[in-house]
Amino acid sequence: MLARVGARAFFAILAWAWLGTAAAAGGAWRLAPERWDRPRDAAYVASLAPVRAAVRAWEAAGPGATLVLRYPGGEAGLLWASELRDWLVALGVEPEAVVLAPGAGGDALVLAVEGG
């Protein structure tokens, strides 16, 4: 079990290193459905500019910050946000820091950082 935890931490650090150093300070980032509508793996999810920017802003915001995923209405939007949350957690974001919320307004998923 300890080996798994060590490997998970290693891969989380490696994946987030791929995210680059550019980050938007505050704000919200839109993830268009056409960017998501394709086969996904950790490298692809980590390469998405809105995901990179939102995670960097969340990290910079410090303890207590949340990464809010505002999703388009309906079951499809909730499933999309849930899958993105799962990817974020797999890549090293603390599960309790990711919050799902309806009301993206439009067909894109909106990532925003609050608090911190």
Give the pLDDT of residue 24: 38
Looking at domain 2-114, does it have CATH number 2.115.10? no
Strand order in the sheet with 28-31: 28-31, 109-114, 66-71, 98-102
* Tokens (6 digits) for 32: 């268009």
Residue whose pair of structure tokens reads 């499809």 in the numeric block: 76
At position 39, the amino acid (one-letter code) is P
Q: What is the pTM of this model?
A: 0.75
Query: Which pLDDT score, from 0 to 100, does residue 104 have?
Result: 79
Token digits of residue 3:
């080996």
Mean pLDDT in consecutive groups of 10 residues from the start of the chain, 116 residues: 43 36 60 93 96 95 94 92 96 95 90 91
pLDDT at 26: 54
User: Could you give the CA distance from residue 94 to residue 85 in angstroms, rounded to a whole number?
Assistant: 10
